[in-house]
């Protein structure tokens, strides 16, 4: 069937014009000419949304989202609760049920809207996954050329050897011009992000034009599809050393996942989304989607250089006062300006990184790293975990928000996100934990908990563990220097973790965090308080009923 016939059969689209698989230079020009919508809270719906810099097509495209959607609209994200899949899905606050009948009616109204409009839709065919044994064809269909360009950046293209492409294909329909009616459509607002797991359709409507919706939505899909095939889907970074030793690093925002995986002595597989299959580790993506706010260009030279490259995409960085974007060099942009959002972003191809594994694939990992940034200052800088402890800490997904980063946060605040990415995990956490445990056992993979947070006291009193010591601890783990028999351990009496008593290039006294506190009683109080938070989270999430054993 032709593209037109396929979209007519699947969605019912008729009389719509398609611009199919345009290259990035053409999409750049299409975005400048045609992408229109609201970019100011009190602005009209027909303003230009895409702009060029002084570099023109030889530099980045700058895109402004609707001001009400500068991040993922989690409260407007749903999956259709078809009876066939309802019991398989981990329903939660940021992934709720949507009534099938209301979904079908809403989808019909969106299609009718597009058919009556007789406009143009941009179509981009890519894949989720770089390994043809599991790669899922992903067809983006949407009103904005910018979104098509983003999808081109972020996902693999031209994967050969994928069987039954039409039978596996997922289709996203992204329609910002259709505004939902909550009373009529059953949506909480005028926008909606809807995943139809039965029919392989992803529907986005209304003011939900944040580019990341087109990325994380497909990650949520892959987190449903891959475990059903026996593969592990992971929110992690991954790299490979000179000895072909692979590593994966799980971690929430601010824990060092991207920074620590970008090691000049190791080749990068990817920085965010991966699969662990019988063939090893492979990237689900072909690009990076980095935060730009307060970017230190000296510390992040790869991202800084990419900002001046063609085919890249800058999102929601404000223009300079009294200077047109067309007259601005991208390196002049004020990356500290959060007047639009703290979540300014930058999309660039993976090959902008200088040291990438060929095909974005690597071997089975020797080492798994669970990253946390403990702002309470009580967890050890490193601990070696048993398989049971891995499952517990993996489903806990702990880090801490810092005092002062949010209004009303005056002391560190615990943050637990199961599997280090709960909003995107469409199966129950135990599904991913079981797969992780099985693959670790099969491939004899070690695991460490690496704390990139504070010592000597909580945030505001103690000091953050130096990046040099963190890298030395990570290097020692990757080189096997913390394996059983290579070093002596002591057990943490509160957290029940095995802490090494020595590590090359790291002072012995910091390895037991209690040693770094002047007031030992205060440390004990704080440690017990954090342990109780772990226990409360474990009970609240009913992890015990899912087969996870409590270890502290």
313-315 β-sheet, strand order:
50-52, 61-63, 313-315, 345-349, 287-291
* Cα 456 → chain centroid: 31
Q: Please give the full DSSP string across 310-336, using - where no structure is assigned.
A: TT-EEESPPPPTT--GGG--GGGS-TT
Q: Which of 139, 257, 401, 427 is catalytic?
A: 257
Q: What are phi and psi of 510, to 5 degrees?
A: -90, -10
CA distance 255 to 450: 9
- Interatomic CA distance for residues 485 and 328, integer angstroms: 58
Q: Using N-to-C axis directions, what is the helix angle for 520-540 and 387-396, rounded to 10°? A: 80
- The four Cα atoms 330, 335, 338, 344 give a dihedral, to 10 degrees, of 70
Q: Which of 65, 258, 312, 470 is catalytic?
A: 258
253 noted as active-site residue: yes
d(CA 430, CA 415): 19
Is residue 230 left, alpha or beta, with left meaning phi > 0 and alpha meaning psi from -120 to 50?
left
Under a CB-based contact definition with an 8 Å cutoff, are residues 526 and 414 in contact?
no
Closest CA to 370 of 383, 351, 357, 356: 383
Known catalytic residue at 272: yes
- Residue 235 is among the residues annotated as catalytic for this protein: yes
Contacts 24+ apart (CB under 8 A), 334-337: 335/292, 335/293, 335/294, 335/295, 336/293, 336/294
Spell out a b/e string for 166-191, using b for 16 or more CB atoms within 10 Å of the CB, else e. eebbbbbbbbbbbbbeeeebbbeebb
Residue in 216, 439, 446, 469 annotated catalytic: 216
Rounded alpha-carbon distances, angstroms, from residue 345 to 61, 81, 292, 348? 12, 32, 5, 10
Specify whether 72 is catalytic: yes
DSSP 356: B
From the candidates 253, 336, 501, 525, give the one annotated as an active-site residue: 253
Q: Roughly what angle, to the nearest 10 degrees, separates helices 387-396 and 429-443?
A: 150
Identified catalytic residue from 49, 72, 266, 541: 72
Radius of gyration of the chain (CA): 24
Q: Which residues pair with 249 in a beta bridge?
A: 237, 369
Q: Is 345 a catalytic residue?
A: yes
The residues facing 504 across adjacent strands are: none
Backbone angles phi, psi at 512, to 5 degrees: -105, 110
Q: CA–CA separation, 76 vs 237, rounded Å?
A: 28
118: left (phi over 0), alpha (psi -120 to 50) or beta: left
Q: Where are any strands of DSSP class E within 394-536?
A: 398-401, 413-416, 446-451, 454-455, 463-464, 489-491, 498-500
Q: Where are the beta strands (DSSP E) in 159-226?
A: 170-175, 192-196, 201-205
257 is catalytic: yes
What is the DSSP pairing of strand 280-283 with strand 273-277?
Answer: antiparallel
339 is catalytic: no
Please tell me which residue in 124, 152, 200, 235 is annotated as part of the active site.
235
Instruction: Give the active site residue among 124, 191, 274, 345.
Output: 345
Q: How many residues does the chain have?
A: 552
Catalytic residue, candidates 209, 271, 272, 374: 272
Active site residues: 72, 216, 235, 253, 257-258, 272, 345
């Amino acid at each position: 069937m032709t593209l037109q016939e396929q979209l007519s059969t699947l969605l019912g689209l008729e009389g719509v014009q398609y611009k199919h698989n345009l290259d990035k230079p053409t999409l750049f020009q299409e975005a400048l000419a045609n992408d229109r919508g609201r970019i100011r809270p009190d602005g009209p719906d027909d303003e230009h949304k895409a702009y060029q810099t002084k570099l023109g097509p030889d530099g980045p495209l700058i895109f402004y989202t609707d001001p009400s959607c500068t991040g993922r609209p989690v409260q407007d994200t749903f999956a259709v609760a078809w009876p066939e899949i309802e019991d398989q899905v981990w329903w939660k606050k940021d992934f709720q049920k949507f009534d099938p009948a209301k979904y079908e009616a809403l989808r019909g109204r969106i299609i009718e809207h597009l058919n009556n409009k007789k406009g143009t839709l941009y179509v981009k065919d890519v894949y989720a996954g770089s390994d043809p044994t599991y790669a899922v064809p992903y067809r983006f269909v949407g009103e904005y050329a910018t979104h098509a360009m983003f999808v081109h950046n972020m996902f693999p293209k031209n994967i050969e050897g994928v069987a039954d492409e039409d039978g596996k294909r997922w289709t996203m329909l992204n329609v910002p011009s259709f505004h939902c009616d909550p009373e009529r459509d059953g949506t909480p607002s005028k926008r909606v992000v809807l995943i139809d797991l039965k029919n392989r359709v992803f529907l986005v409507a209304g003011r939900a034009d944040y580019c990341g919706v087109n990325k994380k939505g497909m990650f949520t899909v892959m987190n449903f599809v891959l475990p059903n095939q026996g593969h592990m889907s992971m929110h992690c970074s991954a790299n490979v050393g000179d000895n072909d030793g692979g590593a994966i690093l799980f971690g929430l925002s601010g824990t060092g996942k991207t920074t620590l995986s970008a090691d000049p002595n190791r080749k990068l597989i990817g920085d965010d989304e991966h699969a662990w299959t019988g063939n090893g580790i492979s990237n689900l993506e072909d690009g990076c989607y980095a935060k730009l706010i307060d970017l230190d260009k000296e510390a992040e030279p790869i991202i800084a250089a990419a900002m001046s490259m063609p085919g890249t995409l800058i999102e929601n960085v404000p223009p300079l006062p009294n200077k047109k974007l067309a007259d601005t060099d991208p390196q002049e942009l004020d990356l500290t300006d959060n007047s639009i959002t703290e979540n300014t972003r930058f999309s660039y191809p993976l090959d902008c990184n200088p040291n990438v594994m060929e095909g974005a694939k690597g071997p089975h990992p020797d080492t798994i790293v669970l990253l946390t940034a403990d702002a309470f200052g009580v967890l050890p800088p490193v601990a070696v975990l048993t398989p049971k402890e891995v499952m517990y800490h993996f489903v806990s997904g702990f880090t801490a928000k810092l005092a002062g980063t949010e209004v009303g946060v005056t002391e560190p605040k615990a943050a637990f996100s199961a599997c280090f990415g709960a909003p995107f995990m469409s199966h129950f956490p135990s599904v991913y934990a079981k797969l992780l445990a099985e693959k670790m056992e099969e491939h004899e993979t070690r695991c460490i908990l690496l704390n990139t947070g504070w010592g000597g006291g909580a945030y505001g009193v103690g000091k953050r563990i130096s990046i040099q010591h963190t890298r030395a601890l990570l290097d020692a783990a990757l080189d096997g220097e913390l394996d059983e028999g290579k070093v002596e351990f002591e057990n943490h009496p509160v957290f029940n973790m095995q802490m090494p008593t020595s590590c090359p290039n790291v002072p012995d006294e910091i390895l037991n965090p209690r040693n770094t506190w002047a007031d030992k009683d205060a440390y004990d109080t704080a440690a017990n308080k954090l342990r109780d938070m772990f226990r409360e989270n474990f009970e609240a999430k009913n992890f015990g009923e899912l087969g996870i054993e409590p270890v502290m």
